[in-house]
Each structure stands twice: as C-alpha cells, then as structure tokens.
C-alpha cells in the first residue's frame, strides 16, 4: 500500500505519523471545547462530536461521539468500526465533495490537549518478550534457569490496576514502598531507588466475551480494537522484595502510561508479521492461524531535566514471542470474561542486542553497567526530573503509521509524616 492523499495537506507528508492511511482515534479538549472524540489527520484533529452533531457523520441511531471516550464506538463491534473508517476516508480523501462541510471542524493539534482515549475496564500485563525474560532471568537466576519452566508454553501475565493507567504527558510521582537490604534484619519504607520503565505495546479489547466461554486466537484478533504504546513504570527494588510468591503488586500499581492515539488494526494490516520461530510447539488453543504480530519500530529516549532528549534504545514489536491475540485467547481460556475497554500490556519488548533492550534494568544490567548520557551524567535507573519518551511507527511505502509519543516526567516521592 502507498500513501493515500487527503485535502488536509499536512497529512500528505511522508514524515507525518498521521496520514490518511492511519486515522487514529483519540480524545482531546481545548480552552473552548470539553473533552471529545477526535481523529488525527496530519497536524490537525477532526472533531467527530461536532461532525455527528451537524449530521455529516451518522453512525448509529444514538450519538456515539458526544462522550469523552471511545468505549461506546468499540461496543458497536467490528462492522461499525469498518463503517466509520470508510466514512472518514471518504470525507478526508483528496477531492472529497464534502470538504466544505468538514473543514470547519478541524482543530490544530497545537491548540489541543490530549486526554485518556478510553475508560480502561481492566488492565492485564504480560511477560511475553523472550529476550527480556532471558535477560532478567539471567541476571537473577543465571542463564541455565533464566526462563521459568512454563514460559515457552504459556503467556505469563498478572492483573494490574486500571485506576493508575494515565495518558501520555501525565507526570509520574516516584512511588514509596517497602524494601529490604540483603544484610538487613527488617525491611524499610521510603521512596523507590530503582525506578524503571518498560517499553510495551498495549492492545485494547473492543468487544466483550461471555463468562465461561473461551475464544480462539482468530476470534481474539478480531476483538482487538487497536493498539497504543505503553510504558509500565516499574519500581524494581520494591518488586524484588514483594513479588514472591504472587508476583508484582505495588511495584507496578502506581502508574502505567499510554500514548494518546489508538491505532486501529485496519491501519496496521499491511504490517502484519508472524511471531518468531518457536522453541516448542504450543498447545492447539494458542497456535496462530496466520500472522498476528506487527512490524513496528520502537524507540526509548530520555530527557534529563534541563537537558536534551537522546535515544537509549531501538527495537521492534516483531520481537514478541506471543502476540496480543494469543495473550487475549489465553486470558479467556479459563472462561474469564473479557470486557470492552480492557487493556493488555504486551510485556517488555527487547531485541537480541544491547541497544535493543526495553528497560533500564536490562540496559544497565541491573545497575552494574551504568549508562553515560551526552551531558556526562550516568543512569542505572531514573532520577527525579527525568522525562522518558516512547515512540513507535510502522514504515510503509512513502508513508508511516505513528502513535504519538508516550511520555512522562518523574516527580519526587510524596513525603510521609
């Protein structure tokens, strides 16, 4: 597929993340407008609430876009999703006869504030990137025991906190928690000293499944509304003390950031690719019926307070051992009901090389190999004032599909009395 052109001139640039091929969904506000559903096109946002109100966009008998979230549209199902995308393409394509009716409802991105695009029903995070799992396992258990015995058979995950999922640009307060030094008799309580990021993709579940009823991988794929970049902030020192035997708890519950734009499966369709070669055959219910991953380049950057942004790592979503569809199918395999607005974190995405690692834990090898920044300072983990940026794009023929940045600045921990 090549670049699709639009009468919105800024979307016809090969460098824009938001060409007509993309049409990602978000929620925005301005000084004059309450939060509402919008679509990114070039450097503009198309106000869907206004288009619906004027009658240019009619998708359902009842209004869908007069709310500050996309859950209502998601709940209508894939047929409605396809209808909306086709209608938006018709309205925005070059020589559209409805340009005059649409143009007044374009808002410059520079004048908008991005809000949470969905109401997150529930949040599940996975541990499904093999290079990450091998790196972390090797650090703590040695290479011979790096992967748990179930890892090559099952996408490991845990239930997180929907309440602490925030949109890009939200400041992240350093968490407090309980830690224990190896030579201490008792644990202590205070600010996290090993604050980290995890570069992930987030899959948004668009349609629900029924309690007690499993779903196939193909059905799971069709249920996914779209994808966002996701940073699962991690308090490594708190996690090390608390995680046995039930896994992460407070170390992961304080914040998870997502990018503001939901990139649909339809926009990503040209970039489908298969998961890497498996070490062991999966059980039938987890086998891919076709390519279920996407070729999406991903970047981690750090911006120290008062300094310049610099890249720490680059990798690709195609490194994941398990796809989001496999994760979703496994999630429902027990009969667990999945819900519109559920968010699934892919797990940290790392590649085989050092500069492809998706967390500071890996990049600094647990703090033993500190990273030297351009200003001469070093990092093993994050300092207060650091801003982390995750970016991602799928590169097509003369166009790209982008997500917008997933960013957050670290603020000092709250002081207890």
Among the options 131, 132, 331, 389, which is catalytic?
A: 132
Tokens of 193: 């000293």
Cβ neighbour number for residue 198 with a 10 Å cutoff: 28
3-state secondary structure of 164: helix
Tokens of 398: 């003369």
DSSP string of 343-358?
EEE------SSGGG-S
Q: Please compute, for residue 55, the number of CA atoms within 13 A of its CA located in the half-sphere on the CB side.
A: 0
CA 248, 249, 250: angle at the middle one, nearest 5? 125
Bridge-based pairing state of the strands 25-29 and 310-316:
unpaired
Tokens of 17: 């993340």
Query: Distance between CA 55 and CA 51 in Å, rounded?
Result: 6
Q: Determine whether 132 is an active site residue.
A: yes
Kindly provide the residue ranges of all beta strands, DSSP E only, lying in 127-171, ordered along the sequence: 157-159, 165-167
Query: Distance between CA 199 and CA 392 in Å, rounded?
Result: 10
3-state secondary structure of 397: strand
Q: What are phi and psi of 408, to 5 degrees?
A: -165, 140
Evaluated on CA atoms 87, 89, 95, 98, the torsion sign reads positive
Distance (Å) of CA 359 to CA 120, 142, 333, 337 = 24, 19, 30, 31
Tokens of 328: 């979703």
3-state secondary structure of 139: helix
Query: Distance between CA 412 and CA 399 in Å, rounded?
Result: 40
Query: Distance between CA 417 and CA 410 in Å, rounded?
Result: 21
Q: In which region does residue 55 sit, left (phi positive, over 0), alpha (psi from -120 to 50) or beta (all else)?
A: left
Tokens of 395: 């590169």
Query: Distance between CA 240 and CA 412 in Å, rounded?
Result: 21
- Asked if 168 and 388 count as a contact pair (C-beta separation under 8 A), the reply is no
Residues that are catalytic:
132
């Amino acid at each position: 597929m090549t670049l699709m052109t639009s009468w919105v001139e800024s979307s016809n640039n090969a460098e824009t993340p938001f060409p007509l091929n993309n049409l990602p969904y978000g929620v925005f506000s301005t000084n004059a407008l309450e939060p509402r559903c919008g679509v990114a096109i070039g450097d503009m946002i198309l106000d869907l609430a206004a288009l619906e109100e004027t009658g240019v966009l009619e998708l359902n008998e009842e209004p869908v876009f007069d709310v500050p979230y996309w859950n209502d549209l998601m709940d209508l199902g894939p047929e409605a999703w396809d209808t909306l995308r086709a209608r938006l393409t018709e309205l925005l394509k070059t020589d559209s006869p409805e340009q005059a009716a649409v143009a007044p409802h374009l808002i410059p991105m520079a004048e908008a504030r991005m809000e949470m695009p969905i109401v997150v029903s529930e949040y599940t995070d996975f541990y499904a990137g093999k290079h990450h799992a091998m790196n972390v396992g090797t650090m703590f258990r040695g290479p011979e025991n790096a992967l748990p015995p179930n890892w090559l058979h099952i996408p490991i995950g845990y239930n997180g906190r929907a309440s602490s999922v925030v949109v890009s640009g939200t400041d992240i307060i350093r968490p407090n928690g309980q830690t224990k030094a190896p030579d201490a008799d008792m644990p202590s309580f205070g600010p996290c000293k090993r604050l980290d990021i995890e570069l992930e993709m987030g899959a948004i579940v668009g349609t629900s499944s029924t309690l007690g009823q499993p779903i196939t991988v193909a059905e799971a794929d069709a249920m996914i509304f779209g994808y966002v970049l996701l940073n699962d902030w991690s308090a490594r020192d708190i996690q090390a003390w608390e995680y046995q035997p039930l896994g992460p708890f407070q170390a992961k519950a304080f914040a998870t950031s997502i990018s503001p734009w939901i990139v649909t499966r339809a926009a990503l369709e040209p970039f489908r690719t298969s998961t890497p070669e498996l070490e062991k055959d999966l059980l039938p219910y987890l086998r891919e019926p076709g390519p279920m991953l996407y070729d999406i380049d991903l970047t981690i950057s750090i911006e120290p307070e008062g300094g310049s942004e610099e890249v720490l790592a680059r990798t690709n979503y195609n490194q994941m051992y398990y796809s989001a569809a496999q994760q979703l199918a496994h999630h429902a395999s027990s009969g667990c009901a999945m819900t519109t607005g559920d968010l699934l974190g892919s797990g940290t995405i790392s590649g085989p090389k050092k500069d492809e690692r998706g967390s500071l834990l890996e990049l600094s090898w647990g703090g033993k190999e500190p990273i030297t920044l351009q200003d001469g300072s070093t990092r093993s983990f994050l300092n207060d004032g650091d801003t982390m940026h995750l970016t991602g794009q799928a590169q097509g023929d003369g166009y790209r599909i982008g997500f917008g940045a997933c960013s957050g600045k670290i603020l000092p921990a709250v002081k207890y009395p």
